[in-house]
Chains A and B, each alone.
Chain A
């Protein structure tokens, strides 16, 4: 259709505009849909630290995650069982009296990958976490607390009678 034999050229132009508008709306709709599922994570603006989780050793994982070393502190309390009967589910928790805590991480030295979990503690959240981890065998469990830009740690040995990584 050319404008010369269109009896209503103005109408055709309007129709073209309407069509353009419809495409625009459709695109916006698609955009919203594809970004829909992860708003909370996007808001936190924090990527999953893949490099740190890939490290095998405990020291390497701490370095990859924080880029510095930790000092042992009695202000960090790690609560873990002395003997874990089932390595697949070892409950452990950490509390600390330190202030300005920004992050807490759990590392199991003898696991295939030492870093087990890392928690982001925003201001207003109490620096105390409880979770359940898998342990391949008897190992030292280290917890790292980042407070006011410095790292503090506590370590405990947990004896495992049945490993959590066997079949």
Chain B
């Protein structure tokens, strides 16, 4: 299965900018389907970015994060060619992990 995580990490000087896009429904639990039944909540709770064995960013998400979430942040200490590991876990226990090279 193709990964649900698309990520681009670019190093400029000692700063690495990370942009990630994740495919996930992020159902809030407040929306009804065509039959009027509530769609149960289904959303990513935690998203972690790890570089060289160190967590560089950890997101705790609620239901108010948009569908197919986007996130952008920067950190110091990453070099071109380093591995950036991204993983998420949702409220149903599903998860995905991917590794990207810093460019």
Instruction: Please give the residue numbers on chain A whose beta carbons come within 8 Å of chain B beta carbons, in ascending order.
Output: 37-41, 43-44, 46, 48-49, 53, 88-91, 93, 108, 111-113, 115-122, 124-126, 128-136, 164-167
Contact = CB atoms under 8 A, between A and B. Distances in A.
Majority DSSP secondary structure for residues of A touching B: mixed
Closest 6 CB pairs of A and B: A116-B64, A120-B58, A130-B72, A40-B48, A125-B75, A132-B66
B50 interface: yes
B30 A40 contact: no
Give the dominant DSSP class at B's interface: strand
Given A37-B95, A38-B95, A131-B71, A125 B63 contact: no
Contacts, number: 133
A40 B55 contact: yes
Contacts of B30: 112, 136, 165
B12 interface: no
A41 B56 contact: no
Contacts of B103: none
B13 to A, nearest CB: 12
Interface of B: 15, 26, 28, 30-33, 45-46, 48-50, 54-67, 69-77, 85, 87, 89, 95, 97
A40 B64 contact: no
Contacts of A49: 60
B59 A120 contact: yes
Given A40-B48, A112-B30, A125-B74, A131 B65 contact: yes
Contact of A126 (B26, B58, B75): B75
Nearest to A121: B57
